Amino acid sequence: MESYQGQLIKGEFSKLENEFIIQEIKHMETQSILQSYQIQTLYQYLLKQVQEEESCVITVNDQMPMHLNEKDTEMLLQDLDKLIHRMHIH
């Protein structure tokens, strides 16, 4: 496992298992596992929201909605982009 510390997300990823374990998002502790396709899906959703200038809501721990303002969304997009490249997701 390799550690990753982004602007909004922190966790570990495994290239072998093709997954990312989110341990913290926006300074909130969590324990969520994202497969590579889920990372891609989240990235595409956030990209669409930014292009349409809309706010975003994501769910943490499958129960707590978290609002992301425009700046948060852009930072999360940057984090995911770096993660996608480090994990070699296509």
pLDDT in tens, 28-55: 898 889 999 999 999 999 999 999 888 8
Copy the structure tokens of residue 57: 């809501």
pTM for this structure? Answer: 0.88
pLDDT in tens, 57-90: 888 777 788 899 989 999 999 999 999 999 988 7
State the total domains in the chain.
Answer: 1
Torsion of CA 19, 45, 75, 84, to 10 degrees: 30
Task: State which residues form the domain around 28.
Answer: 2-87
